[in-house]
Structure 1
Amino acid sequence: MGEEREDPQKLKRIAAAAYDYDNDPRWSDYWSNVLVPPHLASRSDVQDHFKRKFYQRYIDPDLVVESMSTGSSSQSARPASSSTETPPSNDQPRSRGTGSTARTSGTSANAGSGPTSLRWDRQTIQFSVNAWVFIVAVLAIFPLVPKGLSHRAYRLSFMGTACSSLYSVYSLYGKPRAWNLQALQVYFQSIIATKDFIYFIYCLTFGTSHLCLKFASIPILCRALENVAKFLRRNFNRSSLYRKYLEEPCVWVESNTTTLSILSSQAEIGVGFLLIISVFSWHRNVIQTFMYWQLLKLMYHAPVTASYHQSVWTKIGRSVNPLIQRYAPFLNSPLSAAQRWWFR
């Protein structure tokens, strides 16, 4: 029975040992912030211990990581004359072993509970911000809300999503190792294609602009709805209030995340065309339009959003290209130049 109980942990330790730490940018940041003496940092057992700690924190919180034994290092530091001392009695090692076992289990329990509570705090903060964003975004879109309140809710929804995205990026990737050009370049290369960073730039683009496009609130509304539904399902599934009123909507949201992502992609691309139209009006902002199309280009190529955006652009091409070939063939040259820039 004891071996059967240890099987899940054994599999988790095997998975932790087989994990590709070198290709995970979080591992390099984590290892650089670990304070280990130089003569211990080069030891493989020390590195394996902190890799398991990293795996427990970021990948599998159920992995039990025992405290690192210091017996080998303390024995190597003892003088050679200690070998001539009389060995202790049989009772003494047992009592010491029992005490060390208790200390080990207590240390591992504390080490396991620390990251869990930290993750809980992060999830709670994200849930609170996303729930607030969802409410103010609904107020911004709802047509019967007064104009002044609607505009204020519009700005607040973008600022809230920007703060939530930035906090998520900081929680996952931390801060740059150093504040020089090379370290910042490496740091931004690791986060530029993440969904949270893309939404952060998206919210800055519209949250700081004088142009009020209610249509641009659809992606952040879908994002907030998805995050709130996930949190409610994971943490309130035993609540009678949740089961009575919120279970069916949350299940629908989690089962239709692909639909929400496609809707967000369509809205993001539609906003791009609205900005092009706004260039010919009194509310034009050429710099914002150019920056947003750069962001759309990033969304087209970033792995987290590429499939949805490429699908929408394919449908647009199937509908528009025959019309251009038939009624406006003179647009072929400008479109070819735009495509070369887009795929570059």
Structure 2
Amino acid sequence: MICRRFDFANNDEWNHYMNRLEIPAGRESALERIKAKWYKANVVAIVLTAILALQPLVPYWSMMGAGLCSRISALVNTTLVMQRYGTPSFTPFPHAFKSWMQAATTSTPFFHLVVSMIVMNNPSLAPGLLSVGIGAAYGLAEAAPARFGRAAQYQRYLAPLVALLQRHRDRVLFLAAASELLMAFIATFAVFTRGIRGAGTAFVLWNQMKGRFHSHDAALYHRTAWTMIGQRLQPLLVRVPAMQSYIQAAQNWFSRM
């Protein structure tokens, strides 16, 4: 079960929650159920607040959802990164830190952590939360059958949704990759209004896009998205050949790791 890989021991919010509970001695099974419930509640919260952030009807709800989703996601993904890769080591410097960065920064939890931190300070980049929400949704889809598989309500309402997610996994993950690129382009255009601060955000995001282009769990979808963008730009490049050199420079930069 996914929740068993979560680092409960070092999570402050979980420890604060546990301080309010009394678990009788010898009731480890009860503790495991509480852990599963707490973990799923946080992941469900990411999915629901991401939907709230991305709905276009009520701007106030969108801003509120973006703030909540980014904070919950930052908490969960920080713990996942630390559990998977440990804390960064600085000795011997810089080799140890560089090794940690190379391993951690191409992972999806690290990317979702970066997205969450950026959206906290810049809600206009909330489209990137679609990727965060999709990641959380697939986490739930993997855990739900084992936890609720025998429940009649699950079989009636949730099982078809889980099956739909699994059946269209490639399409949904491609949509996540497209939303990540959209966020990077929005950040680039925002440089004209946000100045140096906007340039810093764009720089961070494009470096993350480069990492996603080479990461084992996102490379396929990002490369497919870039192929489609190239096909759409081809008529423009034919009309404006001078742009080809800039496109080639960008391709060379993305190809280097």
Same fold (TM over 0.5): yes
CA-based RMSD: 2.9
1:175 to 77, 81, 87: 87
Q: Which residue of the partner structure matches residue 161 of structure 1?
A: 73
For 1:27-46, what aligned pairs fall within 5 Å after superposition? none
What CA distance in whole angstroms lies between the structure 2 residues aligned with 1:272 and 1:169? 22
1:191 maps to 2:104: yes
1:294 maps to 2:207: yes
Q: Deviations over 1:103-138 (max 9, x none)?
A: xxxxxxx9xxx8x99987765443221101111122
Q: Which residue of the partner structure matches residue 176 of structure 2?
A: 264
What CA distance in whole angstroms lies between the structure 2 residues aligned with 1:180 and 1:153? 42
Residues 127 and 227, structure 1, Cα contact 8 Å, conserved in 2: no
Distance 1:156-1:174 versus aligned 2 partners, 3 A rule: same
What CA distance in whole angstroms lies between the structure 2 residues aligned with 1:180 and 1:117? 43
Residues 90 and 96, structure 2, Cα contact 8 Å, conserved in 1: yes
> Which SS does the other structure have where 2:242 is aligned?
helix
Q: Shift of the alpha carbon at 1:155?
A: 1.5
> Which SS does the other structure have where 2:87 is aligned?
coil
Residues 158 and 203, structure 1, Cα contact 8 Å, conserved in 2: yes
1:248 maps to 2:160: yes
Letter of the aligned partner of 1:152 in structure 2? M
For 1:1-344, what aligned pairs fall within 5 Å after superposition? 123-145=36-58, 147-176=59-88, 181=93, 182-209=95-122, 211-281=123-193, 285-325=198-238, 327-344=239-256
Q: Shift of the alpha carbon at 1:165?
A: 1.4
Letter of the aligned partner of 1:204 in structure 2? M
Distance 1:178-1:268 versus aligned 2 partners, 3 A rule: closer
What CA distance in whole angstroms lies between the structure 2 residues aligned with 1:265 and 1:167? 23
Q: Which segments of 5 or more consecutive residues in structure 1 lack a partner in the other structure?
A: 1-56, 59-109
> Which SS does the other structure have where 2:144 is aligned?
helix
Distance 1:184-1:138 versus aligned 2 partners, 3 A rule: same
Task: Using CA pairs under 8 Å that are at least 6 residues apart, name the structure with larger relative contact order, 1 or 2.
Answer: 2
What CA distance in whole angstroms lies between the structure 1 residues aligned with 2:242 and 2:73? 42
Residues 44 and 140, structure 2, Cα contact 8 Å, conserved in 1: yes
Q: With the length of structure 2 as denominator, give the TM-score of the two structures.
A: 0.77
What CA distance in whole angstroms lies between the structure 1 residues aligned with 2:198 and 2:31? 42
Q: Which segments of 5 or more consecutive residues in structure 2 lack a partner in the other structure?
A: 6-25
Residues 202 and 295, structure 1, Cα contact 8 Å, conserved in 2: no
Distance 1:143-1:198 versus aligned 2 partners, 3 A rule: closer
> Which SS does the other structure have where 2:224 is aligned?
helix
More deviation, 179-188/258-267: 179-188
Letter of the aligned partner of 1:133 in structure 2? I
Letter of the aligned partner of 1:137 in structure 2? A
Q: Shift of the alpha carbon at 1:215?
A: 2.2
Q: Which residue of the partner structure matches residue 52 of structure 1?
A: none
Identical residues among aligned pairs (%):
23
Q: Which residue of the partner structure matches residue 29 of structure 1?
A: none
Q: Shift of the alpha carbon at 1:152?
A: 2.0
Q: Which has the larger radius of gyration?
A: 1
Q: Deviations over 1:77-111 (max 9, x none)?
A: xxxxxxxxxxxxxxxxxxxxxxxxxxxxxxxxx9x
